[in-house]
Structure 1
Amino acid sequence: MSALARTARSLRRTLLQAIPTVLGIIILNFFLLQLAPGDAADLMAGEAGSATAESMAALRTRFGLDNPVLVQLANYLNNLAHFSLGFSPRYGMPVMDLIGQRLPGTLTLMAMALAIAILIGLALGSVMSFFAGRLPDRLLSIFSLLFYSIPGFWIGLMLIVLFSVTLGWLPSGGAGTIGSNLTGWAAIVDKARYMVLPATSLALFYVAIYARLTRAAMLEVRSQDFVRTAYAKGLSPVAVTLRHVLRNALIPITTMAGMHIGGMLGGAVVVETVYSWPGLGRLAFEAVMGRDYTVLLGILLLSSLLVIFANAVVDLLQTWLDPRIGEH
């Protein structure tokens, strides 16, 4: 089977699985949020300080909150059919526009965090597998598992204390220097300075997972016959590790990376709140506090689509790493 045929087959299989999954997620999320106490009208009327039965009823009628649950679900599905995520009563703007403003920040943060976690995890796992059972292996195992055991918000606060308060190297929060009007390379550097701490804080939890997984995978691959054959051909240890061992060890790493996209979206809620990063995680937290369930439904739907897309990319990557996968 050609590479193009394997790719098309993998994409077709992913799409067929994604359609019922997305429908199930939409309906399940909708009914789960209906069980939550209160709504946006309660909070908005309370903040106005002049909540009356008439004003509450007017708000609920305006935003369709007084309709039966099944009617609200039908209206929501009708909006989705017209590529609309509805209107946010809290922010007074379409949910699609609101999410579009926050999405780039979260995607950039997650991409940087995932890159940091995979690169450090691969490096630590490779060293641990080379010194398996010896002192460096044990020390690095303890070091990596330390970050796995510490809560993410505490790591974030300690990074702020060390690098922002004590050393003064990096900003403690935000997404860029206010009023700087930087462009080009200077703007990229400024953005990167604000992203280092939240991305690192989000990544450290996953470093231990990738390090241990890389160690186990590389030890297993090294025992295979094709690796011994590569050594017998006279290839150097570095060439064998990069061309044979590491490539095959990447298959479980990519699988876990695809599964961790959803976890990173959840972790982004804490990290973006700690660092005041304007992203989807912080928007989800604000939507929960403001009882703006229309926004929350949009974020949950988009998060589901991101996870499905990430797993489709992982399937394609694994097909490239091991062509035999696409044949099953």
Structure 2
Amino acid sequence: MRALSRNVLQAVPTVLVIVTLGFLLMQLAPGDAADVLAAEAGAATEESLAAIRKTHGLDRPLIEQLWTYYSHLGRFSLGQSARYNVPVADLILQRLPATVILMASAIAVALVLGLAMGTVMALSAGRWPDRVLSVVSLLFYSVPTFWIGLMLIILFSVRLGWLPPGGAGTVGVGLSGIAWLRDILPYLLLPASSLALYFMAIYARLTRAAVLEAGGQDHVRTARAKGLRPGRVIRRHVLRNALIPVTTLVGSHAAGILGGAVVVETVYTWPGLGRLAYEAVLAREYMVLLGILLVSAMAVIVINALVDILQALLDPRLEIR
């Protein structure tokens, strides 16, 4: 508990630095929300632009805007969206569950397939299964995520017609529980797979190396000498040690998976934070972008803390620091 409290205290200045740098970098981008709102209203005059900027505080000095944003954070508020005229927190909460589902599914698929592929590659090192799976993992590692997404849409949606090409469920149907899960699953398969395949290739290569290394350790040879079944030796002694470096990499990949969600959600029109960020960039909604940046930074910190706890469970010799 003391270690977790220390991690929380360390996370506070980290988040503040991220928000400050993000705020300053966004000010370097051309245009603001006033330009977009005036253009959409068809009233892009100097007077209308000045009125919009004054309404949303965009005409204030940079330091004052930053202080105002920190004041909102101190009141547990992420500010107001200029375009939608609703709290930014409400927009993020509407989209956050979809991104959490997508990320969790992608991580689960990448881990399961990566561990399975890596174990098969290690157990057949130097033979044809190892060579074939090595080529497959290298292919998925080399190909861009958006291209994989487009190819999966062409194959499974356009050619075969098995899965929908986009969306996050049947429109206008209020479902819950098992019925909701059955409805969303076909829409989730393609985006989760697109996001997972790149990381699956990395975990497969890492698992192969970790299993080969763990297989030569003394306690594994002892377990085999005692006559334990090969499957039990692999599950209890080899894979448990191999999971430690893999889970470490999952924590460091959390930000990359969240960043990849922007591309995947755009390709599949998945209504998550990634697509909201894309829409906010087009609308110059810097307040929304800052809110997404803050939530994303906190999510990465939480995921890394959970990874530390998981590693301590896998190997009690490790301490949570």
What TM-score does the superposition give when structure 1 sets the normalisation length? 0.95
RMSD: 1.2
Question: Could you say which residue in structure 1 is the equivalent of 2:169?
Answer: 176
Question: Could you say which residue in structure 1 is the equivalent of 2:46?
Answer: 53
Give the C-alpha shift of residue 325 in structure 1.
1.3
Rounded Cα–Cα distance in structure 2 between residues aligned with 1:162 and 1:187: 25
Give the C-alpha shift of residue 183 in structure 1.
4.3
Q: Which amino acid aligns with 1:108?
A: I
Question: Could you say which residue in structure 2 is the equivalent of 1:246?
Answer: 239
What TM-score does the superposition give when structure 2 sets the normalisation length? 0.97
Rounded Cα–Cα distance in structure 2 between residues aligned with 1:323 and 1:29: 38
Does the residue aligned with 1:87 lie in a helix, a strand or coil? coil
Question: Could you say which residue in structure 1 is the equivalent of 2:90?
Answer: 97
Instruction: Could you list the structure 1 runs, at least 4 aligned residues long, displaced by more than 2 angstroms after superposition.
Output: 179-187
Instruction: For residues 303-325 of structure 1, give each alpha carbon's deviation from its aligned partner in whole angstroms, at most 9, with x where no partner exists.
Output: 00000000000011111111121
Give the C-alpha shift of residue 197 in structure 1.
0.7
Rounded Cα–Cα distance in structure 2 between residues aligned with 1:113 and 1:327: 26
Question: Could you say which residue in structure 1 is the equivalent of 2:13?
Answer: 20
Question: Could you say which residue in structure 2 is the equivalent of 1:63?
Answer: 56
Rounded Cα–Cα distance in structure 2 between residues aligned with 1:327 and 1:42: 49
Q: Tell me if structure 1 keeps the 8 A contact 2:265–2:271.
A: yes
Q: Does 1:116 find its partner at 2:103?
A: no
Question: Could you say which residue in structure 2 is the equivalent of 1:30?
Answer: 23
Does the residue aligned with 2:200 lie in a helix, a strand or coil? helix
Question: Could you say which residue in structure 1 is the equivalent of 2:4?
Answer: 11
Instruction: For residues 77-99 of structure 1, give each alpha carbon's deviation from its aligned partner in whole angstroms, at most 9, with x where no partner exists.
Output: 00000000000101211000000
- Alignment of structure 1 residues 194-205 onto 2, 5 Å: 194-205=187-198
Q: Which amino acid aligns with 1:160?
A: I
Which of 271, 274, 284 does residue 278 from structure 1 map onto? 271
Give the C-alpha shift of residue 145 in structure 1.
1.3
Give the C-alpha shift of residue 180 in structure 1.
3.4
Which of 242, 251, 261 does residue 258 from structure 1 map onto? 251
Aligned-pair identity in percent equals 64
Instruction: For residues 266-315 of structure 1, give each alpha carbon's deviation from its aligned partner in whole angstroms, at most 9, with x where no partner exists.
Output: 11111111111100000000000110000000000100000000000001
Question: Could you say which residue in structure 1 is the equivalent of 2:204?
Answer: 211
Give the C-alpha shift of residue 327 in structure 1.
7.2
Which of 185, 210, 221 does residue 214 from structure 2 map onto? 221
Rounded Cα–Cα distance in structure 1 between residues aligned with 2:38 and 2:274: 26
Which of 130, 135, 145 does residue 152 from structure 1 map onto? 145
Rounded Cα–Cα distance in structure 2 between residues aligned with 1:154 and 1:115: 21
Which of 308, 321, 324 does residue 301 from structure 2 map onto? 308
Rounded Cα–Cα distance in structure 2 between residues aligned with 1:287 and 1:159: 27
Per the alignment, do residues 126 and 247 of structure 1 end up closer, same or farther by CA in structure 2, a change over 3 Å counting?
same
Q: Which amino acid aligns with 1:164?
A: S
Give the C-alpha shift of residue 56 in structure 1.
0.6
- Alignment of structure 1 residues 131-150 onto 2, 5 Å: 131-150=124-143
- Which ranges of structure 2 fall in alignment gaps of 5 or more residues? none
Q: Which amino acid aligns with 1:96?
A: A
Q: Which amino acid aligns with 1:218?
A: V
Rounded Cα–Cα distance in structure 2 between residues aligned with 1:182 and 1:297: 32
- Equivalenced residue count is 321
Does the residue aligned with 1:132 lie in a helix, a strand or coil? coil
Rounded Cα–Cα distance in structure 1 between residues aligned with 2:311 and 2:173: 43
Q: Does 1:267 find its partner at 2:260?
A: yes
Instruction: For residues 56-89 of structure 1, give each alpha carbon's deviation from its aligned partner in whole angstroms, at most 9, with x where no partner exists.
Output: 1110010000010100010000000000000010
